[in-house]
Amino acid sequence: MTHRFAETVFTNSVKIQQQKAGSLEHNEKLQAKFGPNDELGSREINFITNRDSFYLATVSETGWPYVQHRGGPAGFLKVLGPNSLAYADFRGNTQLVSTGNLSVNDRCSLILMDYPNRRRLKILGHIRIENVADLADDILTRITLPDYGAVIERIFFIDLLAYDWNCPQHISRRYTEAEFLEKLDTAGITSGHSL
């Protein structure tokens, strides 16, 4: 068995650095024992469908990486299958940096965070972008958010290459207002005022 994520990111230059740091053998054992991490399972699907944001990395034709925060209602990043994700791209600031980058290099990396539970999921994939007018109604129905009033301009389809879970060591717990109020309620504490 091979670990598709490690196979992709542990390039020769990375392995040289692992060798210098004394971690190459450890990482080779992890790569051989775990995986293949090339299809989403129930743990990953549940995690993804509960996220209200993620970070998207793309690379320009000049080689510069670009990271963008994407957000929406929980579940706006849709799981279409074990190797397929999609999300609606809403009208924004019209800079279109990620869209431009993806027009010349379809590779992407996503990081999805669960700050309260100190969990992080990394995803590698390839994105294709489709205009809303070109899509069949059944696809749009699966991806759109009927209760969210933003105007959809295009749909980003992500073909999953691999994923990996990160260790929680340096993830600080952070809570949305709703999560914080839920914790207060669970503890039997009432805030009595708006945050």
Q: What is the pLDDT of residue 192?
A: 60
Q: Domain spans of the chain?
A: 1-37, 39-186
Confidence (pLDDT) at 195:
53
pLDDT of residue 187: 83
Output b/e per residue, 151-160; b: 16+ Cβ within 10 A. Answer: ebbbbbbbeb
Distance, CA of 44 to CA of 125 (rounded, Å): 15
How many Å apart are CA 57 and CA 98, to the nearest integer?
8
CATH, range 39-186: 2.30.110.10
pLDDT tens series, the chain, 195 aa: 578 999 999 999 999 999 999 999 998 888 888 889 999 999 999 999 999 999 999 999 999 999 999 998 999 999 999 999 999 988 777 899 999 999 999 999 999 999 999 999 999 999 999 998 898 888 888 898 888 877 888 999 999 999 999 888 888 888 888 888 888 888 888 766 555
CB 54 within 8 A of CB 70: yes
pLDDT value of residue 194 = 55
Taking each helix axis from N to C end, the angle separating 24-33 and 12-21, rounded to the nearest 10 degrees, works out to 120
pLDDT of the residue at 193: 54
Q: According to the model, what pLDDT value does residue 119 have?
A: 95
